[in-house]
Amino acid sequence: MRSSRVPVVALILAGGRVDELSVLTFFRPKAAVPFGGLYRVIDFPVSNLMHSGIFMAGVLSQYRPYSLMDHLDHGLPWDMTGRRRGLYILPPFKGREASDWYKGTADAVYQNLEFVRRWDPEVVLILSGDHIYHMDYRPLLEFHRENRADLTIAFTPVREEDAPRFGQGVIEEKGILGGPLKDYQEKVSPPVSHYASLTIYAFRPEVLEEVLLANAKEDSHEFGRDIIPRMLGAYRLFGFIFRGYWGYTRTLEEYWQSHMDLLGPAPKIDLRKWQVCTNLAHRGVRDRKPTIFAPGARICDSLFYNGSHIAGEVVRSVLSPGVRVEEGACVKDSILLYDTVVRRGAKVDRTITDAEVVIGEEARVGGEEGLTIIGRQTELPSGVSLAGGVTVYPHLKKEAFDSRHYPSGAVIS
């Protein structure tokens, strides 16, 4: 055994953006989108790796990677520095044989097979970098080894009406943990199974290399659409069943709902129990002053963090560090990211603001028609009214708003 060998190498797919998250991914990949007030979406799989004793990982990043690179900080917040430890950013590169952007999830891993070979692992664990969940990967890895699997895929049960959005696995259940994978279909309707793929794959390294080399000659390069269906019947495939909380957060509604799952007397997401780690140096979180509550402030069923100043009312909402809610303002059922300011008398309902948004005095933002989303560093004028379901682009000044009222569905750019 070579001295550089590590038991498990993880590869985190964190390169893309999704249009469904609108202005939140204009300047950052989905994996770098803030979540839960203090965290980033990628903190969840990276923290899972840390708690599972897996300290060698590559992050496959492509779309606007700077915020992700800055946040991950070489793995320091997750103790991924040292001998046979590391959190490496693996962007596309130019070379004698590889000289293109990642053309899909399988191609991204294919372009980084040299990274896998360098560490000579027993298992390659491939993860999506943009899901909200708490999982110890060790039972999955043990299940994979005990079954002498070439590939083990993690699945979770979903409602039948939701299944067509995901890859679906037909599992011959041999016990509570799962069993042989009998069929796999990518996003078909009607669904063949109520088990949805978590985009968590445990591969035998030599099998991974074999199937990727074959796929490199094809025109499409996705694990769910191309790799897994062709492996059925030719390799030992198993399905592992995960029954914990899983937040997909691909759409704004799902992103909002996962935040609401942080709240209430019995939250579905318990961040303290999950022990999620993050980079407290990012955006100067650790250096901010304590939150200040002015006389008359009212807070109900909400999360907030240091550096905030609350003088108004906050109900069932999640506030990132540095948020200001002035006297007479009301924030309800909303997510306000870093340093957002809600001026005196403004009302904000079912709204998501990116960082450094200013909502003018007496403004009316959001409603029951849908989620309102406001891009970073935009300033809404005093008295403006945005119905539910309005989208506002980033970096807009007051002068960009030529109307006093914007109906549901309006896009202000």
Distance between CA atoms of 229 and 105, rounded to whole angstroms? 15
SS3 181: strand
Give φ, ψ of 87 to 5 degrees.
-120, 105
Closest C-alpha to 388, from 333, 341, 309, 311: 333
The residues of the chain that CATH labels 3.90.550.10 are 8-260
Distance between CA atoms of 193 and 179, rounded to whole angstroms? 14
pLDDT of residue 380: 98
Q: Tokens 């596309």 identify what position?
A: 92
Q: Tokens 């990116």 identify what position?
A: 354
Distance between CA atoms of 287 and 133, rounded to whole angstroms? 28
pLDDT of residue 91: 80
Cα-to-chain-centroid distance, residue 131: 4
Determine the residue type at 66. Answer: Y
Closest C-alpha to 365, from 316, 410, 311: 410
SS3 333: coil
pLDDT of residue 144: 98
Say which CATH architecture domain 288-412 belongs to.
3 Solenoid (2.160)
By the 10 Å C-beta count (0-12 exposed, 13-18 middle, 19+ buried), 348 is classed as buried
Q: Give alpha helix (H) positions in 137-292.
A: 138-146, 205-215, 228-231, 252-260, 271-274
163 close to 183: Cβ distance less than 8 angstroms? no
Prior bond to 190 cis, omega within 30? yes
pLDDT of residue 96: 47
Distance between CA atoms of 176 and 242, rounded to whole angstroms? 9
Distance between CA atoms of 140 and 369, rounded to whole angstroms? 42
68 close to 14: Cβ distance less than 8 angstroms? yes
Give φ, ψ of 161 to 5 degrees.
-70, -20
SS3 174: coil
Assigned token pair, 105:
């999830």
SS3 169: strand
pLDDT of residue 97: 55
Closest C-alpha to 12, from 184, 135, 147, 130: 130
pTM of the model: 0.94
77 DSSP assignment: G
Residues with Cβ < 8 Å from 393, sequence gap 6 or more? 23, 26, 375, 378, 411, 412, 413
Closest C-alpha to 111, from 128, 94, 136, 124: 94
Q: What is the pLDDT along the chain (413 residues), one digit of tens a residue?
A: 445 689 999 999 986 666 788 999 998 888 999 999 999 999 999 999 999 999 999 999 877 777 888 899 999 999 999 888 999 998 876 554 554 677 889 989 999 999 999 999 999 999 998 899 999 999 999 999 999 999 999 999 999 999 999 999 999 999 999 999 999 999 999 999 999 999 999 999 999 999 999 999 888 999 999 999 999 999 999 999 999 999 988 899 999 999 999 999 999 999 989 999 999 988 888 889 999 999 999 999 999 999 999 999 999 999 999 999 999 999 999 999 999 999 999 999 999 999 999 999 999 999 999 999 999 999 999 999 999 999 999 999 999 999 999 999 999 99
Distance between CA atoms of 186 and 163, rounded to whole angstroms? 10
Distance between CA atoms of 239 and 185, rounded to whole angstroms? 13
Distance between CA atoms of 76 and 85, rounded to whole angstroms? 10
Assigned token pair, 153:
């895929």
Distance between CA atoms of 177 and 173, rounded to whole angstroms? 8
Residues with Cβ < 8 Å from 364, sequence gap 6 or more? 346, 347, 384, 385, 386
Distance between CA atoms of 412 and 189, rounded to whole angstroms? 35
Assigned token pair, 76:
């320091």
pLDDT of residue 5: 83
The CATH code of domain 8-260 reads 3.90.550.10
Distance between CA atoms of 314 and 334, rounded to whole angstroms? 9
The residues of the chain that CATH labels 2.160.10.10 are 288-412
Q: What angle do CA 152, 156, 159 make, to 5 degrees?
A: 145
pLDDT of residue 260: 98
pLDDT of residue 1: 41
